[in-house]
Structure 1
Amino acid sequence: MKILVRCNVEARENTFSAIVLQEHKLIIPFFQRTYKWDSENWARLFEDLISSFNDGVEPFLGSIILKRLQGSKNEAQIIDGQQRLTTLSILLKALIDQIDNENISDFKNFLYKPFTKNEIKIQHSLIDREKYSKVLNNENFDQNEETGIFGCYNYFTKKIQEEFGKDEDRKFKFAQTVFSEHKSLVSVFLQDKEDEQKIFDAINSTGVTLSATDIIKNSLFDKIIKETNEEKAIKLYDEYWRNIFEKDDDEQTFWDTTIKTGSDTRTKGEILFHAIAVVKGIFKETDNLSKLSAIYKNHIYKLNEDELINFLKEIKKFALIYRNLPEMKNDDLFVYNYETRFFHICQFTNVKTPFLPIIFILKDEFRDKSDEYKKCFLLMEIFIFFRSICGKRTSPYNKNVIKIIKDYQTNKGIYEILKQNLSDIPLADEVREVFYNISNKSAKFILFWIELCREFGKKDYIDKSGLNYVYELEHIMPQSWQENWSDNANSKDEADKLIYQIGNMALLKGKLNAKVQNSSWKDKRLEYDKYIGNLSINKELLDKETWDKNKIEQRSEKLIKEFFEIWNYDEL
């Protein structure tokens, strides 16, 4: 049965054996993404095949898109379907290894070139080539691995044993039916002049999801091959892509990790490429993030060889900057310096990603960490932080950032441009008001940084151990105040004005039990010594014989003063 996909592309229902036997060699492009299928995919595939085998019906396993290489003798490039084809070939290898039947050798022609000593028919991508070779050549690998190519083989080995046991005839018939009889795949052959990238993207936009990073990589190296040759493309890939994004499992995990950004969830790789596109000026204010890969493809299409190489260099530069940005965790040791504070604020407010292009420029331009560099961070810090604690939303994809980059590219002087575009900062009086009715989250953050500032003597870099962000926020005059604190207030409104201002809050090493929380100051003060640790911000409380309206308001004023010494408008 023929299926016409478009005027110059023909698709045909085929068996696995027909697809692999008609080609002398099947090549997965070296730059294709790593093998991604997992136990959920394997289970679904195996269950479909077993069910179809038992019911005597043909399953549909998807499409394989191939493009015969010009000037080659029956060698084809796998444009799409490498995950599917890899999985099926590993399932077949697991069956071959477990079937005791003299005719099983016929199946080896599906995996190995004829008239060779087990020369593998499918040439895998650079990332997975070694692992795939180990599986097909019965080399030693971890039999307990549960992910990737090794995990795939181990999974099918176990499932075959569970499903068939020692029934050799049924195992053989299953292999014969699935791989030689069922026309369960659609093979699509492209003409030599067909744009495989367009077909690849079209198929994947409706099927297996590719990240924008995957599509950008495919477009880049497809264009580089066309501008140069595959040998040079592989060298560039190794230096500027593989060593950055795919060097090992840790790197791949880092770039594949998803982050919530506003209403969207994106991988770190996609966040990086969005930021680069903003820096390069190829992502405009009117552009939509869903079109990021298309924006890159249009840009890449226009580049010549030298421009492509320079673009790769820039990608590597910005990727290394992003990779080395602090990711603050609560149990890390925090020291008092402006960069640590900025990235902690970004985590606190969840607005780091829109400012990433600006961070890239600052990190690239100010390698010597000049005063202007520090002022830029302070300005962004105050803009983000003050708006956050005053309840003013900062858009996850702030168009101001795109305008800042555009102004910078034409005018230079990044600090002045930042100051012009980030001018909507709440006034000091507006910020002061917050401290008299402050959220627990904001109070905890502010008290922590005031304590760090005291600890480090207001110096940026000093040999101190630092603090972990692991404290509990405590209202000294408690929310349940009526029984033991009625001398401080005559009504709920009066009490709330004292309870929820910053002067009435402390950072403790653990949470007090409810009985202690609601005790009088005299009893509570005795317990505080067990919980305050070495924090000066708490030790000063123990000197107070009483805790009343005057003490709370005096402490609030003192903390507000220290707050504005750290986040100082006058330094902008």
Structure 2
Amino acid sequence: MALEPIDSRLIGIGALLKQQRLAVPTYQRPYTWEIEHVKELFKDIIDAKQKKHDQYFLGTVVLTNADDSIKSIIDGQQRIVTTSIFISSIRNYFKNKGDDARANKLTADYISNADLRTMNPSPRVLILPDDQSFYNEYVVGVPTIGRRSPRNLTDTQKRLFSAIREARDTINSVTAISKNPDLDLFDLIDFIEKKVVLVYLDVGSESNAYVIFEVLNDRGLDLTVADLLKNYVFSMAGKEGLLSCQSKWKEMTTLISNTNGEGDIRNFIRHDWISRNGLVREKNLYDSIKKSVYDEKTVSDYMDNIIVSANIYSSFSIFSSSVWKDYSDKVRKSLMLFDMANITQVRPLLLSVFSNFSVQEVNKTIPMIASWSVRFLICGAGGSGVLEDNYAQRAKDVSDKKIKNATDLFNSFNILPTDIQFQKDFESAKVSKTQLARWYLSELELEKTKNAQKIVNPDTLEVNLEHILPHNPDSSWSISQNLASKCVNMIGNLALMEAKTNSIIGNSSFDDKKSHFSQSSFDLTKEISNFKSWGSQEIEKRQVELAKLAVKRWKNKP
């Protein structure tokens, strides 16, 4: 792609704010700097000024033309926004001491002009629409900042507020030790305007910017796969497809970040790609996508696919989502297992199955994969690398229509623990994660009773996990602390118990607990009352029986 002429110059960041209105494009990620990044920038600026350095270099910013009066920030949002917050705190100092003339001058020069027609504030920095009102109130305006953050802030607004508070504290520290605070702040503003410098690249069009952006990454700019991919697909989208591509990218990032957090976007992008193309490591992901997404048509197809996947992926931890309304309760319960046990390697296969199988086949397949997951968790079989490889290949086979149903998938998966191995390993298994232990026992209870209507209440205020032998048994238990520690988290020592009863029995002796067990509505819990005493032998005996149920409950076959 031929590059258009580029305006490149060294400029103080204060001068940039003074000369130009800047806007963050709506498809960009929001303000992401954590407090440690903010502190580092403020400290570096103060230190550089105090040591009388000629310049403090902030790096490179990449801008494009948004319209005649505004430049779009392609790279540099975090530094620009944070610096504007810092200058606003200097302005606030003068405003709070009653020096309105200087406060208004700082506002007009660096923060906001008034619109000539309406006289409404016209901020020099426009961030994403969801956060602009907050920015206008706390950066453009002169707020009162208390010890507590305002209520109901988004994660982005919390980061912005932390930066605002840190800027105030930094300026307070400067003025507290100064013999002439006003003069020192004048000097600080001059330093920010003239000597806190950056390389300003005005690259003209957005397509030009994306080429520059990738070159900058090759030269050491620390970008994520998501950053690189976003700019690459935008550069390939063409003039007619760019707006649609930007809109879909924004929709995708909103879906994933709202449910999984911003940090999971790169995981989603990788899992989505694996679901159709097989295993690729993160370091090779960008190059792999570039080989297949290379023009307007392939970009359009890629973005269509990624939106479909994002709707599914973002609902993996929302079990009441309307996405699952056509599927069985077993599917939702399986998703609950994947989420609580943090089983992420399976996600590409899940994406592929939900995208390609009929509802009837999904209802068979997802519970079967959940059964496999339980077996892998109990047996420790395969290892995460082996599982990821196998799940990835099967996901691609499903997408390629080589695997068309649950039976095909079972027949292709040859690393599953056998019934004999699973039962043997279950007999000695321990579970330290309460939520997972509750899930196991709930499923075993359903296998025991064969009553599909008897679903254990997931509310921990109603049903608790009881350790029959407590963590810290007293002398009535006749067991050493060392042996108790080995037995306490064995599945055979765990039981579902009505919450009110559980709070009553606490660390009582086994004899005191037995009468409560006998009255439990859970069959597996009620059976515990048949034991005369409780120790390591009884725990092992009960766990052997639970292991037999486990083989029946979590089958390899659909």
TM over 0.5: yes
Count, aligned residues: 516
Shift of 1:34: 0.5
Match of 1:173 in 2: 186
- Per the alignment, do residues 499 and 432 of structure 1 end up closer, same or farther by CA in structure 2, a change over 3 Å counting? farther
* Residue 48 of structure 2 is aligned to residue 52 of structure 1: yes
* Residue 301 of structure 2 is aligned to residue 301 of structure 1: no
- Please state whether the residue corresponding to 1:119 is helix, strand or coil: strand
1:451 aligns with one of 431, 440, 445: 445
Pairing 1:110-509 to 2, within 5 Å after superposition: 110-112=110-112, 116=116, 118-135=121-138, 137-138=140-141, 144-145=149-150, 147-164=158-175, 169-190=182-203, 195-201=208-214, 203=216, 209-224=222-237, 226-228=238-240, 232-233=243-244, 237-238=246-247, 240-243=248-251, 245-246=253-254, 252=257, 254-256=259-261, 267-281=263-277, 284-285=278-279, 287-304=280-297, 308-326=299-317, 337-347=329-339, 350=342, 352-366=343-357, 369-370=359-360, 372-396=361-385, 398-408=388-398, 409-441=400-432, 446-454=440-448, 457-459=450-452, 465-466=457-458, 468=460, 470-474=464-468, 506=495, 509=502
The CA distance in 2 between the partners of 1:103 and 1:505, in whole Å, is: 69
- Per the alignment, do residues 219 and 178 of structure 1 end up closer, same or farther by CA in structure 2, a change over 3 Å counting? same
CA contact (8 A) 1:474 1:506 kept: yes
The CA distance in 2 between the partners of 1:440 and 1:183, in whole Å, is: 55
Match of 1:3 in 2: none
Match of 1:525 in 2: 511
- Once the two structures are superposed, residues 186-239 of structure 1 have per-residue CA deviations (whole angstroms, 9 ceiling, x without a partner) of 334447698422433454677775443343334344544x33276x44xx645x
Q: Which has the higher helix share?
A: 2
The CA distance in 2 between the partners of 1:298 and 1:115, in whole Å, is: 48
The CA distance in 2 between the partners of 1:297 and 1:19, in whole Å, is: 35
The CA distance in 2 between the partners of 1:373 and 1:175, in whole Å, is: 63
Q: Which runs of 5+ in 2 are unaligned?
A: 151-156, 320-327
CA contact (8 A) 2:422 2:551 kept: no
CA contact (8 A) 2:24 2:126 kept: yes
The CA distance in 1 between the partners of 2:477 and 2:525, in whole Å, is: 24
- Once the two structures are superposed, residues 91-116 of structure 1 have per-residue CA deviations (whole angstroms, 9 ceiling, x without a partner) of 22332343227466554234456995
Normalised by the length of structure 2, the TM-score is 0.74
* Residue 86 of structure 2 is aligned to residue 91 of structure 1: yes
Structure 1 vs Structure 2 CA RMSD: 4.7
- Please state whether the residue corresponding to 1:185 is helix, strand or coil: strand
- Per the alignment, do residues 398 and 473 of structure 1 end up closer, same or farther by CA in structure 2, a change over 3 Å counting? same
Shift of 1:182: 1.7
- Per the alignment, do residues 500 and 217 of structure 1 end up closer, same or farther by CA in structure 2, a change over 3 Å counting? closer
- Once the two structures are superposed, residues 301-351 of structure 1 have per-residue CA deviations (whole angstroms, 9 ceiling, x without a partner) of 3233xx5444333322222212222479xxxxxxx953354335435754x
The CA distance in 2 between the partners of 1:131 and 1:67, in whole Å, is: 24
- Please state whether the residue corresponding to 1:246 is helix, strand or coil: helix
2:12 aligns with one of 12, 15, 18: 15
Question: In percent, how many aligned pairs have the same letter?
Answer: 17
Give the aligned residue type for 2:174: E
- Per the alignment, do residues 211 and 256 of structure 1 end up closer, same or farther by CA in structure 2, a change over 3 Å counting? farther
Q: Which runs of 5+ in 1 are unaligned?
A: 1-5, 258-266, 329-335, 487-491, 517-522
CA contact (8 A) 2:468 2:510 kept: no
The CA distance in 2 between the partners of 1:547 and 1:110, in whole Å, is: 74
CA contact (8 A) 2:467 2:488 kept: no
Give the aligned residue type for 2:345: P
- Per the alignment, do residues 183 and 542 of structure 1 end up closer, same or farther by CA in structure 2, a change over 3 Å counting? closer
Match of 1:37 in 2: 33
- Once the two structures are superposed, residues 387-415 of structure 1 have per-residue CA deviations (whole angstroms, 9 ceiling, x without a partner) of 33223134256222232233221435132
CA contact (8 A) 1:10 1:189 kept: yes
- Please state whether the residue corresponding to 2:396 is helix, strand or coil: helix
- Per the alignment, do residues 499 and 172 of structure 1 end up closer, same or farther by CA in structure 2, a change over 3 Å counting? closer
CA contact (8 A) 1:58 1:183 kept: no
Normalised by the length of structure 1, the TM-score is 0.73
Give the aligned residue type for 2:303: L
Shift of 1:277: 0.5
Comparing 287-296 with 97-106, greater Cα deviation is found at 97-106
The CA distance in 1 between the partners of 2:189 and 2:488, in whole Å, is: 76
